[in-house]
Structure 1
Amino acid sequence: MRGPAERAPYLQQLAELPTLLAAAVAAAGPRIEQPYRPGGWTGRQVVHHLADTHVNLYSRFRLALTEDNPTVRPFDEAAWAELPDVATTPLAVSLGLLTSLHARWSGLLEHLNEAQWQRTFYHPRYDTTLRLDQALVQYTWHGRHHLGHIQLLAQTAA
């Protein structure tokens, strides 16, 4: 990425994700307990997945900013989505976590200088090194992708 102007839309999308997600969850109503597609996760699993995953992604940024090309730890997202707390934890808990987390994450990112955006981490599952500006694009896409799943449930509920 070339600079602040190119990053701005991604930073905006990252910041607004919790608000958009909360609105989509509310619009989905009871459909949130159903899969967004045959064989897919339920909306509940998607919301908790976003909270679980974004905690890890935020940590990757902080590691990259404080260590030299750290190796990040992959985790089994599918297994996490099947843990018992996913079925019992109110969605408001993960929505609140995402709101707070994204406020911290956005606050961190808005203060990075160009050299910091070029810092890296290594992801062993994909055998790749990512710069933070690349990770921003990838992780913003991740949030929007799953937001789309919840929005599908909301559309079918309407």
Structure 2
Amino acid sequence: MKTNFDLEKLKFPIGKCPKTDDASPNDVATWIATIEQFPAKIKNLTSNLSDEELNWIYRPYGWSIKQVVHHCADSHINSFIRFKLALTEDVPTIKPYEEQLWAELVDGNSNAISPSIQIIEGVHARWVLLLKSLKENELKRQFIHPANIKILSLDETIGVYAWHCNHHLAHIEQALKYKGQF
């Protein structure tokens, strides 16, 4: 394993998630566009990869490309549900999940990424439809994330997930650039 890499840069190739509170309507529209474009971008990056390439990691001790794809499906399903809970309940407490453990389950470690790409395409189609329909007061609806004991509004969460999309696309690009060699 090479050791001349900046591990923090490899972990956060686009930087850590920026502060997303006090979002302007333009910010929200830009973030929704990012979320809308994500399925095509991840599919484009991964559609012709061999099993060997799908197993390339993006940093030392990091996930493989296939695990990143499966994680995005898992994460975005959870986010979509959190939005629906926040829109239909009064400041619900969401259920966190152990993403690192999910990535080690058989479905999170499978070379067959096409089902996760299909999930991402379907969830994002519905999620973007929902996001584009939200009025200003709905964007301010909130949920409680018990893992970090924080109350999050939907508009700031849209920003977090736009960053999440770009963050994991950068991980895949990084794994491809370095051919998983760290």
TM-score bin (small chain): over 0.9
Aligned-partner Cα distance in 2 for 1:87–1:45: 6
Q: 1:28 to 1:152 in 2, by over 3 A?
A: farther
Matched, 1:50 2:72: yes
Aligned position for 1:117: 139
Structure 2 SS opposite 1:130: strand
Aligned-partner Cα distance in 1 for 2:176–2:71: 18
User: Which one of 123, 130, 133 corresponds to residue 101 of structure 1?
Assistant: 123
The Cα offsets for residues 39-58 of structure 1, whole Å up to 9 and x where unpaired, read as: 11111111000101110011
TM-score by length of 1: 0.93
Shift of 1:129: 0.2
Matched, 1:15 2:36: yes
Structure 1 SS opposite 2:47: helix
Task: Give the structure with the larger helix fraction.
Answer: 1
Q: Which runs of 4+ in 1 moved over 4 A?
A: none
- The amino acid across from 2:47 in the alignment is A
Q: 1:92 to 1:121 in 2, by over 3 A?
A: same
Matched, 1:83 2:100: no
Q: 1:128 to 1:88 in 2, by over 3 A?
A: same
Structure 1 SS opposite 2:143: strand
Shift of 1:154: 2.7
TM-score by length of 2: 0.81
Shift of 1:23: 1.1
Aligned position for 1:36: 58
Aligned position for 2:11: none
Aligned-partner Cα distance in 1 for 2:108–2:158: 26
Count the aligned residue pairs.
157
Shift of 1:153: 2.3
* Alpha-carbon contact 1:28-1:155 (below 8 Å) kept: no
